[in-house]
Chains A and B, each alone.
Chain A
């Protein structure tokens, strides 16, 4: 974003635009390396730095960053074990990668002038599709048609089932949508709000006497920024907990 231009016309949507840094395509499909790709790469490198570089010493008494890596590991391991059971631990690497990537991407996105990878619906929807595909494939592989018991709650009389089973099916089908839109909308809305308040500061500064009021939106930005930090962590957590819950359905389909 060009600061001068931004100062002239504050635009809270501009931050989500994709810029082709390295345009190319494979078999007619555009696969340009964009600013979004760059920040995906940065998020992944951040996770690698935390989980691989900081643990290379394998110290018995950990340093700060190694302690952080261990905390993250134990946090996600505890989450998977509690939500999806011990059997769910076979999905631990997937859930961990998902959580760490989304968390670091969200946090990097909060740095001014950076790009929020998770503010793109296509990214969060891709994650959600991977999760739901994993759930369906593993559920069918593990239980065969018994997996369809997921849609038939236990101990419910037949007339109620007629109503309940379609509801269960709809609720299952809406999972990828709710999963992806929740993360996308939270990050998007947060960043738009921050940019709007930033725009207020710019507009007030250009409004003569009203420039005296310019610090007020800055205070709001500070408060919102704290909230966005919470949202960044919370949404990464919510996304991975729900992934665990859905995986638990695949492992134990009977309600």
Chain B
């Protein structure tokens, strides 16, 4: 600093002369920050301006900025709380839904099983019924066949008796008692 000020001392003096000429009070060669007559006005305005600034900062600016930051913190905390609550609600809802789904599935399976059993039972009953009806029909048919057979056999005997009687009549001209013949035929049978 000293070197610089001495280096520019010559020019500095010239400037000082000029400013003195312009009506400003200066000590010869005194470095401006050390000119004592400059102290009072600077301190006066510094006190006024810094004092006002201090009042503005401490009364308005700092409480406001502090409030903003606090508000934001509170808002973030409350939002996070709400989000956590929502999340737990959603999880509870999902669990309830899963439980519901499981129960419904069990129910549906139960209904399915029951229906299957019912159908199986119905089928078995119907089959049994159909089988018994069929067996009944078969038995009746068998009976009818047997009776038809005996009938047919009886008819065959009657035809034979008739044929024998007519043969005997044709050959001998004698009438044969058909009853006797039938009796004979059956006994010779």
Interface residues of A (CB under 8 A from B): 9-14, 16-20, 26, 29-34, 36-37, 40-41, 44, 47-48, 51-52, 55, 58-60, 62, 66, 69-70, 73-74, 92-94, 96-97, 100-101, 119-123, 126, 184-185, 188-189, 192, 196, 199
Contacts and interface: CB of A to CB of B under 8 A. Distances in A.
B62 A189 contact: no
Given A37-B49, A73-B66, A192-B1, A93 B58 contact: yes
Contact of B65 (A17, A29, A51, A122): A51
A9 B14 contact: yes
A119 B38 CA distance: 13
B12 A121 contact: no
A122 B38 contact: yes
Contact of A29 (B32, B44, B64): B44
A93 B54 contact: yes
Contacts of A188: 1, 33
Contacts of A31: 40-41, 44-45
Nearest to A192: B4
Interface residues of B, number: 47
User: Main SS of the interface on chain B?
Assistant: helix
Nearest to B36: A122
Interface of B: 1, 4-5, 8, 11-12, 14-15, 19, 24, 26, 31-35, 37-47, 49-50, 52-54, 56-58, 60-62, 64-69, 71-72, 75
Q: 8 smallest A-B Cβ distances: which pairs?
A: A93-B58, A51-B61, A37-B45, A16-B32, A31-B44, A73-B65, A44-B53, A122-B39
B41 A126 contact: no
Given A37-B41, A55-B65, A93-B54, 10 more contacts: A11-B12, A19-B24, A30-B40, A47-B57, A51-B61, A69-B65, A92-B62, A93-B62, A192-B1, A196-B8
A33 B49 CA distance: 12
Given A52-B64, A121-B34, A96 B57 contact: yes
A40 B50 CA distance: 8
Contact of B75 (A44, A51, A60): A60
A36 B75 contact: no
8 contacts: A13-B8, A18-B42, A60-B71, A97-B50, A120-B33, A126-B47, A184-B33, A188-B33
B31 to A, nearest CB: 7
A247 to B, nearest CB: 15
A126 B46 CA distance: 9
Contacts of B53: 44, 47-48, 97, 101
A31 to B, nearest CB: 4
A144 to B, nearest CB: 27
B68 A40 contact: no
A255 B71 CA distance: 38
